[in-house]
Structure 1
Amino acid sequence: MSDAQIRVSEAPVIRLETVGMDALMVRLFDAIDEAHMPWILAADRALREGFGEDLVDLVPSYTTLLVNYDVERLDQREASACIRDALIGLRPASTAAGREHRIPVWYDESVGPELPRIAERLGVSCEEIIRRHSERDYCAFALGFTPGYAFMGMIEEALATPRLKTPRQKVAAGSVGIAERQTAIYSMRSPGGWNLLGRTAVKLFDRERDDISLFRPGDRIRFEPITRDVFIEQGGDTTPLEERG
């Protein structure tokens, strides 16, 4: 999707919510929409610059930004004023602000057991599900759950599938899944209840890289189907999900 095709929503009504002795939530929107991301990214940059060394952590998400500030430097009134000052005259970030990634994925029932189930539900082939999942760019809305794990969206509405009623105890690193209208890659082996379609050999979190997390909020990701042989050449683990210990 080109920059010109990326929608930008109208200016948000900014609200502050207290979530802790050292934290305030900046709410910009109420609904998830990719068109909000230029505003979220602009607010992230403005708040980092506005707080400077008084900022402990800043976590952007779908519709909000969580601001953790240094209580030894600021009280809540001062932190609130800092937020308001930083966001005066906020303008959306450039739609080209995020980086682009191409992630090779081996789509296969052995590593993506929900692939045939979703195909059967829609009355189409697995190849059609793969095509639909891989034909569009996804926006990384937020990082969380495990290091490097990015919540992405929005997938085609027809592919939206609820999370599993009973989460799996172990999901392999690199597993690509969907839940409702979101998609994601498991950055490491962990429990999880997303519907799995395939697996990638790309490392999302690597302490040896300058950017230890491959993705950042606002990045754009597209999945590229590859064969089993290519997946193996890239260092992928073909062990079927049910056989992993």
Structure 2
Amino acid sequence: MKSGYVIHPLGDSAAILKWEQEISMAVHQEVMKAYHCLRISSSPYILDLIPAYASLTIVYDAALIRNNERVPGLQWLTAYIATKIKTRDAITAPAPRKLRIPVCYDPSLGPDITEMAVSRKVTIADIIAWHCETVYTVYLTGFLPGFPYMGKVCAALETPRRPQPRLQVPAGSVGIAGAQTGIYPLASPGGWNIIGQTPLRMFDATHADPCYCHPGDQVQFIPVTLEVFRQIQHEQ
């Protein structure tokens, strides 16, 4: 079903398109094609589009559709999507942004990196190298405003969530959970394995575009020393 989808209601003013439920570039590309196709259509009835790993949530104005089209919102949306998505292969999606995000992997900022190295009988330098060698795709943002869910980490780095979440994870913390890696944009409780921290602000509500990362972005982590981390942090 990688190239196909099913649609389900999601409350009385939203619907969700679902593809095969897996983390893969093939599914992600289908999600993003549909996202860009519907985004450029600029329908006044569609209020928001929320892409995820293998789904696309569409929030629509049910009252406006009923008043203007004289049909239930989901009925109109189902027909509209079927028409628009037929043309998705003709849509030229914007090239993904390529982001290089500095990360300090010092154990003082990555409290789980030492345990991860010991459990694998490797060095901390190995963990850093493995984490930085991959260019990750941002599949979605969620959980916290601007939290980028990225994947996949190499098999050697896959690690289950911590059995006991921390009560407070600092903003900028870079973590691993299963095959995913992500960055906490705000201080928050959390159960991901923290291996480092970026000095960049991943979410800033004072900006017109508050989220540093967006779905579809390509991210590579760049290791920096604690000194460079403090310098960049001071300049933010």
- With normalisation by structure 1, the TM-score equals 0.87
- SS of alignment partner, residue 52 of structure 1: coil
Structure 1 equivalent of residue 32 of structure 2: 41
Q: For 1:57 and 1:80, how far apart are their aligned partners in 2?
A: 16
> Does 2:168 match 1:170?
yes
Shift of 1:181: 0.5
Alignment of 1:49-64 (within 5 A): 49-50=40-41, 52-64=43-55
1:111 to 109, 121, 137: 109
Q: Give yes or no for contact 1:38–1:92 (8 Å, CA) kept in 2.
A: no
Structure 2 equivalent of residue 188 of structure 1: 186
Output the aligned Cα RMSD. 1.8
The gaps in structure 2 that reach 5 residues or longer are 66-72
**Structure 2 vs 1, CA of residues 16 and 103 (structure 1 numbering), >3 Å: closer, same or farther?**
same
**Structure 2 vs 1, CA of residues 159 and 93 (structure 1 numbering), >3 Å: closer, same or farther?**
farther
> Does 2:132 match 1:141?
no
Q: For 1:93 and 1:40, how far apart are their aligned partners in 2?
A: 13
The gaps in structure 1 that reach 5 residues or longer are 1-9, 237-245
Shift of 1:210: 3.6
Alignment of 1:17-32 (within 5 A): 17-32=8-23
- SS of alignment partner, residue 43 of structure 2: helix
Q: Give yes or no for contact 1:57–1:67 (8 Å, CA) kept in 2.
A: yes
Q: Give yes or no for contact 1:141–1:218 (8 Å, CA) kept in 2.
A: yes
Shift of 1:14: 1.8
1:200-236 Cα deviation digits (max 9, x unpaired): 1101112333421111100000111100110111126
Identity in percent: 34
Q: Which runs of 4+ in 1 moved over 3 A?
A: 92-96
- With normalisation by structure 2, the TM-score equals 0.90
How many residue pairs get matched? 227
Q: Give yes or no for contact 1:105–1:199 (8 Å, CA) kept in 2.
A: yes
